[in-house]
């Protein structure tokens, strides 16, 4: 069966985080997805860790390439994707175990092409939290879909990571 979601994970030297990311993805309550990990020329044990999981789980694919940066790695993942929808997940991110199920239900219920959802920052790295920006959008601080789209693609004060 064709996957609903293709989860693309670009990774460079992510040995400290990639295993936890993979474990959480493999625990999803929704079963129609694939995980495509793009090893962007890592020189640590990232590839070895991912290969061990790839051998055990059919939903996980590893693509290794020379280091060209996260944008190129994501594009490689897009080309390999077979799902109807694409999610970008960083190697140090995790998804709640019911995240894909919630997304699938929203897509079916609302017939949307694009869903934005927030996240929680758990580290102490002072990174702005996109959830705050998304809450502003949902609460009417920005009016109209065209304004939301402009905010997403804007170079200044954008919704980071989308």
Please say whether the beta carbons of 41 and 12 come within 8 A: yes
pTM for this prediction = 0.81
At 139-149, the pLDDT tens digits run 555 445 666 66
At 114, the pLDDT band (50, 70, 90 cuts) reads confident
Please say whether the beta carbons of 151 and 137 come within 8 A: yes
Return the closest-CA partner of residue 160 out of 57, 90, 111, 62: 90
Q: In 3-state terms, what secondary structure has residue 96? A: coil
In 4-113, which residue ranges form alpha helices assigned H by DSSP? Answer: 18-26, 46-56, 70-80, 99-110
> How much of the chain, in percent, has pLDDT values that exceed 90?
59
At 61-110, the pLDDT tens digits run 999 999 999 999 999 999 999 999 999 999 988 888 999 999 999 889 98
pLDDT, residue 152, reads 64
Cβ within 8 Å of residue 153, ≥6 positions away: none
The helix (run of H) or strand (run of E) holding residue 27 is none
Q: What is the largest CA-CA distance in the chain?
A: 48
At 32-71, the pLDDT tens digits run 999 999 999 999 999 999 999 999 998 899 999 999 999 9
Distance CA(83)–CA(102), nearest Å, equals 16
pLDDT, residue 134, reads 56
């Amino acid at each position: 069966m064709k996957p609903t979601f293709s989860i693309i994970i670009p990774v460079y030297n992510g040995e400290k985080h990639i295993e936890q990311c993979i474990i959480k993805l493999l625990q999803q309550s929704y079963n129609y997805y694939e995980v495509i990990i793009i090893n962007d020329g890592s020189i640590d044990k990232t590839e070895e860790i991912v290969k061990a999981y790839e051998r055990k789980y059919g939903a996980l694919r590893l693509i290794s390439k020379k280091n060209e940066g996260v944008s190129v790695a994501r594009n490689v993942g897009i080309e390999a994707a077979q799902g109807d929808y694409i999610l970008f997940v960083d190697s140090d991110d995790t998804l709640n175990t019911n995240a894909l199920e919630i997304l699938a239900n929203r897509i079916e219920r609302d017939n949307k092409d694009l869903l934005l959802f927030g996240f929680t920052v758990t580290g102490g790295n002072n990174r702005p939290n996109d959830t705050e920006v998304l809450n502003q959008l949902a609460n009417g601080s920005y009016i109209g879909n065209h304004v939301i789209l402009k905010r997403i693609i804007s170079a200044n004060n954008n919704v980071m990571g989308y």
